[in-house]
Structure 1
Amino acid sequence: MRLLKNSALNLSLCALLLTGCTDPAQTQPLLTVSQGELEHRISAEGELFAVNSVSINAPQNTRGPRFIAELAPEYSSIAPGDLVIRFDATQLERSRRDAGNSLAAVLSDQQFKGTQQAAELANIGLDQRLVQQEFAFADRFSIDDIQIRSRLEILDSLQNKEFLGEKQAYLNWQQQSFAARSQGELDLLQLQKGQQQSLLEQAETGLSALEIRAPHSGILLYDSNWRGEKPEVGRMVFPGEKLGSIPDLSLQHLKLQIIEQEAVGLAVEQPVSFRLTAQPEQVLQGKIVSVGQVAQSRERRDPRRYIEVIVAPDSQQSFFLPGAKVRADILANRLTQVLTVPLQAVFSDEQGQYVWKQQGTSLTRQDVSLGAKSLTHAEITAGLKAGDRISLLAPEN
């Protein structure tokens, strides 16, 4: 029994020794490099949108919010001239009435002030003429001979002339002061008149723009506000607020969102195949017409950034509708008869990119140059040849 235990122990030790002496290149997962096809396809999701679309906005030439009184149903087909939205006129009529009353009051004040100023100016003119007459009379009949008049009478006459001169100067100053003051009052009334006229014109302009009508045929789409609410009767809207759009259904494109890390090699004119989610059995074709230059976040809680790609279908279909969801497949690149290796077999450090190549019974570092890439493979332009064997993992792994 003891002999059997010793034999088992010896066998275990031999197995451990043999395992430790096994060639590392034989225990690593190896791949033979060969020529083949490198195809880079990118999957994306998006939706259809109308290239030509007319926005529906609340009129901007009004003060304050407005209320919807009538609107056409969403997704309804409309023809040129059809009513889309009608706004309530109660507030605008009240504004026009108030502005008209205020303007009439200002005109009345302006007329009263003009009459009052004319009367006051006439009184000043009468006083000036009276002083001039008194001054001329005093100057004409002034006698300075002490043999005819006493000294007190002469002094009194001189004081009377001096008083008349001062009074005339005062009246001249009063006339100039009145002119400046009256002009300021008239300017203020004119400013108030302009303000009320502007309010009246705004109200009349708003009353003339109570209706929004379709400029061309299409389908009616409404936009949601920040609370997710779409326009409805009684809702308050603000000047210039976008309420919806009327897309032109004759020309529609695809708007795709692609994760920034996957949007490698995208370019204009690349072929795209896509399916509508509502009709997955039909495969349609198109081409890229534009690729976004800046990646943007789509949702606040989503850390990923997306590149926007616009695709033009090869043909317009009758079942195309703006907002319809699509799934697309983009052929970004296709190369034939090139050396390709999996990306997991390519490593990099500060010296460059390399692979672990089998040399006899060991693995050695081999620097390589990469060309085109897909999501899983890369083209080898230098450093390897067909038939070479490389490791899919680093030796330490």
Structure 2
Amino acid sequence: MKTRLMLACLMFLLLTRCAEYTERDAVITLETGTLTHRIQAEGELFAVNSISINAPQSTRGPRFIAEVAAEYSSVAPGDLVIRFDATQLERSLRDADNALAGVLADQQFKGAQQAAELTNIGLDQRLVQQEFAFADRFSIDDVQIRSRLEILDSLQNKEFLGEKQSYLTWQEQSFASRSQGELDLLRLQKGQQQGLLEQAQSGLAALEIRAPHTGILLYEANWRGEKPEVGRMVFPGERLGSIPDLSLQHLRLQIIEQEAVGLAAEQQVRFVLTSRPEQVLEGKILSVGQVAQSRERRDPRRYIEVVVEPAAQHSFFLPGAKARAEIFANTLEQVLTVPLQAVFSDDSGQYVWKKYGLGFQRQPITLGAKSLTHAEITSGAEAGDTIALLDPEA
């Protein structure tokens, strides 16, 4: 009897605690209403049309900035943006010009030397031919007229002339091959110096960078955080900045991948610039990035890039201006909604704790569209049901 009494008291206490639970604001009554999926994001304005400013690639080695226009200044077509120092290029031009003159002098000297040597070989060949013809013409083999020693000496002289003629022929061929190699080397050196000369001349012609159109001047920092300034060294092809066209600007937003659910083109966007927080602007989504990317090396989160077209272009729009935006990703009218914190899940699926009398029971449900805070219930519950916002078993 005492045991039954203790059990009854225990049940009464549990029911009392359960009743106390329901009396607190830890329950909600399901109602139909509007489900609005809004996504908060941050980003900045950027110019759709922008001309990149790069250091010229027509020279070898780095350059030094001699003059630079002020950043954020307005420029018109033909205005000077950056002028580079010409000292190094003038030195390169002078060295290349001197080296080319030396190669041309060597080429002229080598040509004269080869012509003289070739003339000498030609003279020797003609002399040998004349001697050979004379020896052949006045050769007498009669032993009655000349002694045998004289006849042998005449034959040896003819043989010597023949060998000398062959040697001169070989010398002429060898000279042609050798002289051709020397001329080819000089022509190669000449072409190399001409290339350096033309490179220095084109570099001097590209000492100035001028604005191609009207816009605002923006500079980019290098990996050390340094922007273009007088005396800074830049390398060929290095990106120094840009001149954006201010007539058409869009908004680029970065949205955490987990929050970028349901984004699509043509969705409405409201945004404010941090410089003008009192003015609410409107726009629509132009494109949604397909691949999430990391924004910072130490940030594990990944972001989806969204491009927004403002409804109107304003004179106070500047590239790089920071903005806070709210995207209306989805709006559903007259749907049964539930806070996401009241939805639980296990291996069997999703469920809520539905109130029955003084207690709560699991009620399986099926969810539809979601926002960052609420979800649509498509089956398993109906309007008027009371559910717990916290797990009663916890």
TM-score (normalised: structure 2): 0.90
Residues 354/150 of structure 1: CA separation in 2 closer, same or farther (3 Å cut): farther
Q: Deviations over 1:352-390 (max 9, x none)?
A: 444455567775555443321111122222333334444
Provide the rounded CA distance (Å) in 2 between the counterparts of 1:169 and 1:34.
117
Matched, 1:155 2:155: no
Provide the rounded CA distance (Å) in 1 between the counterparts of 2:325 and 2:7.
59
Q: How many residues align?
A: 388
SS of the equivalent of 2:247 reads: coil
* Alignment counterpart, residue 309 of structure 1, candidates 306, 310, 313: 306
SS of the equivalent of 2:71 reads: coil
* Alignment counterpart, residue 19 of structure 1, candidates 2, 13, 20: 13
Matched, 1:117 2:111: no
Residues 348/129 of structure 1: CA separation in 2 closer, same or farther (3 Å cut): farther
Provide the rounded CA distance (Å) in 1 between the counterparts of 2:186 and 2:263.
67
Paired residue for 1:290? 287
Paired residue for 2:40? 43
Provide the rounded CA distance (Å) in 2 between the counterparts of 1:348 and 1:134.
118
1:232-251 alignment, distance < 5 Å: 232-251=229-248
Deviation at 1:241, TM superposition (A): 1.4
Kept after mapping to 2: 8 A contact 1:23/1:362: no
Deviation at 1:165, TM superposition (A): 2.1
* Alignment counterpart, residue 134 of structure 2, candidates 120, 134, 137: 137
Provide the rounded CA distance (Å) in 2 between the counterparts of 1:345 and 1:140.
130
Paired residue for 1:106? 103
Kept after mapping to 1: 8 A contact 2:15/2:358: no
SS of the equivalent of 2:231 reads: coil
1:1-397 alignment, distance < 5 Å: 15-19=9-13, 29-357=26-354, 365-394=362-391, 396-397=393-394
Provide the rounded CA distance (Å) in 1 between the counterparts of 2:153 and 2:10.
147
Provide the rounded CA distance (Å) in 2 between the counterparts of 1:71 and 1:181.
55
Residues 124/353 of structure 1: CA separation in 2 closer, same or farther (3 Å cut): farther
Provide the rounded CA distance (Å) in 2 between the counterparts of 1:13 and 1:363.
21
Deviation at 1:284, TM superposition (A): 0.5
Q: Deviations over 1:210-248 (max 9, x none)?
A: 222212222211111111111111211111112221111
Q: Deviations over 1:67-90 (max 9, x none)?
A: 211122112222222211122211
SS of the equivalent of 2:194 reads: helix
For structure 2, the residue ranges without an aligned partner over 5 or more in a row are none
Stretch deviating more after TM superposition (195-204 or 340-349): 340-349
Residues 353/158 of structure 1: CA separation in 2 closer, same or farther (3 Å cut): farther
Kept after mapping to 2: 8 A contact 1:23/1:361: no
Q: Deviations over 1:130-179 (max 9, x none)?
A: 22222222222333344443443333333332222222222111111111
For structure 1, the residue ranges without an aligned partner over 5 or more in a row are 1-9
Residues 285/137 of structure 1: CA separation in 2 closer, same or farther (3 Å cut): same
Stretch deviating more after TM superposition (162-171 or 227-236): 162-171
Kept after mapping to 2: 8 A contact 1:296/1:305: yes
Deviation at 1:184, TM superposition (A): 0.9
Deviation at 1:289, TM superposition (A): 0.7
Counting aligned pairs with the same residue, the percent is 78
Deviation at 1:19, TM superposition (A): 3.1
SS of the equivalent of 2:115 reads: helix
RMSD: 2.6
Provide the rounded CA distance (Å) in 2 between the counterparts of 1:102 and 1:271.
67
Provide the rounded CA distance (Å) in 1 between the counterparts of 2:147 and 2:365.
133
Q: Deviations over 1:52-101 (max 9, x none)?
A: 11122211111221221112211222222221112221111111111111
Provide the rounded CA distance (Å) in 2 between the counterparts of 1:249 and 1:82.
17
